Amino acid sequence: MNAHAGGVSLRPYQAEAVARVVTHFRASSEPAVVVLPTGSGKSLVIAELARLARGRVLVLAHVRELVEQNHAKYLDYGLDADIFSAGLGRKEAGRQVVFGSVQSVVRNLAAFGGADATQRPFTLLVIDECHRVSLDEDSSYRQVIERLRATNPHLKILGLTATPYRLGQGFVYHRHHHGMVRGDEACFFRDCVFEQPLRLMVKQGYLAPPRRVDAAVARYDFSRLTPSASGVFQEAELNRLVAGHRATPGIIAEVIEHAEGRQGVMVFAASVVHAEEIMGYLPAGQAALITGATPGHERDAVIGAFKARHLKYLVNVAVLTTGFDAPHVDLIAILRPTESVGLYQQIVGRGLRLSPGKTDCLILDYAGNPWDLFAPEVGAPKPAGDTEPVQVACPECGHANLFWGRRDGELVIEHFGRRCQGLVDTSTGEPALPGEGGAVQQCDFRYRFKVCGDCGAENDIAARRCHGCQALLVDADDKLKEALRLRDARVLRVAGMQLESTTNARGLPRLKVTYHDEDGASLIEWFALETPAQRGAFAAVFLRDHLRAPGSAFRPTAPGEVVDEQKRLRAPDFVIGRKVGRHWQVREKVFDYAGRYRKAYEV
């Protein structure tokens, strides 16, 4: 342990997080992120950074509970700081360190910077629960940031979060200190400078171990529910599935049974109507409900009674996933679908803090949530319900990428990655870490790509212009439209792909690939695999596009091997053939199609 002023001590990982932040900001003014699991003591890290800072510090949070909690940890150092929060009845901004709610600060920007500000400019801005910082420049956080930067262009900005992921956006930072790209270039935060894994926290005894129990009674079926464009489930849809559901009485009876001998129970409901129904089945006088519409004074009274253990059950609807601290909670009942592993971790995290007499936290999931509590975010929306995070090594830099995919045993037979996430040194192409001194960039290897007809560069499949020569890339619809106009061209809407190990007229082994459309028309291509050159050509012109897990080390040496492993191959959406003499030749294939033409069997 590292002792500090006022008898406060930091755990080793907290001290390391502080050291990484200091090192980063000595070399850069780019916004940075620290990722610490729920219950890991972010408030202590914030307090230590505020203590070390030489200039003025503003610490922002989105709920008053966090403002109060972070302020209290700083006071433990024997130091004083201001609070700027209407919800806490204080609007002070004169001291070196100020803890504020973003809503109050954004309504009083004149007190925090600009020509009419009376105080010295802030040098450090700390944002708790920084995954709430939007890319929208008109959002509250961004308005505060721009005001502070107006008086100090070199403002250091640090975000802390347990879940560095935003629905509809992906990761909130661009690069990770382990040497990989997570979010895209548009991310506001540039670097994650420190991350403490949840599994390690539990293993080292800093968090209570979660114990997930398979529910013995019927569950809710949310499998057909799809999130909105913003990635969030709609309450009306949730209501339709759970309101008056016949499984609810049995589910709550089971929760009550498991709660015997437990200290505190949190129930996460799918909707307000659902939560009100749940309250009707819980023991009278032992349960309370909090929703987004609960008045502030009533909410405070309920939370106070729950923390004092006058209430055993606390039911809520999407309002206590962050900024809520009741360490005695040792049973979490999830009766709602969660849109991401990040939200799932936030919910379960309410029960992982240590508390006297607490040995673990029981997790009862009645919504069939597919998330692994210890699995990291992948960063892209889940493409299908049966996909899982898979590790895919880059054939160029060796980086172990994390993509959504499918396995057959230990073999990754499909993944949905587009580009390697590894960081490499720009001069050597070798794997590199951000902040090591040399210039780093994202590895150029692409698993799926669109080739520029002008310069041959490989581009993202959604790119409109070539990143190499800036030429406008040929649109797949234009390509199909042009081929359809030609008399000597054939366009197949592929309904099936058949592979056959056969021989040619001279008795030599060949791989025959036949593409069929819905009406029975077909196009055929042939491949030889006897020589290294032929196998190399096959890998380049066929495997690179057809592998469901591109970049994998599948290098067949005979047609039969390809046929035996055809589960690893995918068919194109369209095939374009041109007539050469009396025969048709496959000239082009279209994969990952998302245009206006119908694909095979689409309704």
- One domain for residues 177 and 262: no
Percent of the chain with pLDDT strictly greater than 70: 96
Q: Where are the alpha helices (DSSP H) in 486-551?
A: 532-538, 544-546
602 against 576, higher pLDDT: 576
Residues 167 and 252 in one domain: no
In the predicted model, is pLDDT for residue 84 greater than 60?
yes
Residues 357 and 440 in one domain: no
Flag the least confident range among 35-39, 53-57, 599-603: 599-603
Q: Do 495 and 528 fall into the same domain?
A: yes
Read off the pLDDT band of 3 (50, 70, 90). Answer: very low
Pair 110, 213 in one domain: no
Domain end position, chosen among 308, 330, 365: 365
- The answer to whether residues 308 and 330 belong to one domain is yes
- pLDDT given for residue 5 in this prediction: 47
Domain assignment of residue 127, yes or no: yes
Residue 263 is predicted with a pLDDT of 96
Distances, alpha carbon 269 to alpha carbons 188, 276, 310, in Å: 33, 9, 21
Print the domain residue range for 436.
Answer: 388-447
Banded model confidence at residue 1, pLDDT cuts 50, 70, 90: very low
What pLDDT is attached to residue 314? 97
Higher pLDDT, 260 or 385: 260
User: Mean pLDDT score of the chain, rounded to an integer?
Assistant: 90
Does residue 374 form part of some domain? no
Residues 6+ apart with CB under 8 A from 508: 528, 530
* Domain annotation covers residue 477: no
- What integer is the mean pLDDT of 509-528? 95
Same domain, 106 and 134: yes
pLDDT digits (tens, 9 = 90+) for 85-108: 998 999 999 899 999 999 999 999
How far apart (Å, rounded) are the C-alpha atoms in residues 356 and 64? Answer: 26
Give the pLDDT score at 536.
94
Cα gap 441→443, rounded to integer Å: 6
| pLDDT in the model for residue 193 | 96
Spatial contact of 182 and 176, defined as CB atoms under 8 Å apart: yes
Q: How many domains does the chain have?
A: 4
| Statement to judge: residues 403 and 258 lie in one domain | no
- The domain boundary, picked from 423, 447, 471, lies at 447
Gap between the Cα atoms of 362 and 260, Å rounded: 12
358 and 245 part of one domain: yes
Q: Is 276 found in the same domain as 144?
A: no
Rg (CA), the chain: 28
Q: pTM of the entire structure? A: 0.83
- Whole-number pLDDT of residue 378: 78
pLDDT tops 60 at residue 6: no
Does residue 232 sit within a domain? Answer: yes
Q: What is the pLDDT of residues 51-83, one digit of tens each?
A: 999 899 999 999 888 999 999 999 998 999 999
- Is residue 518 predicted with pLDDT exceeding 80? yes
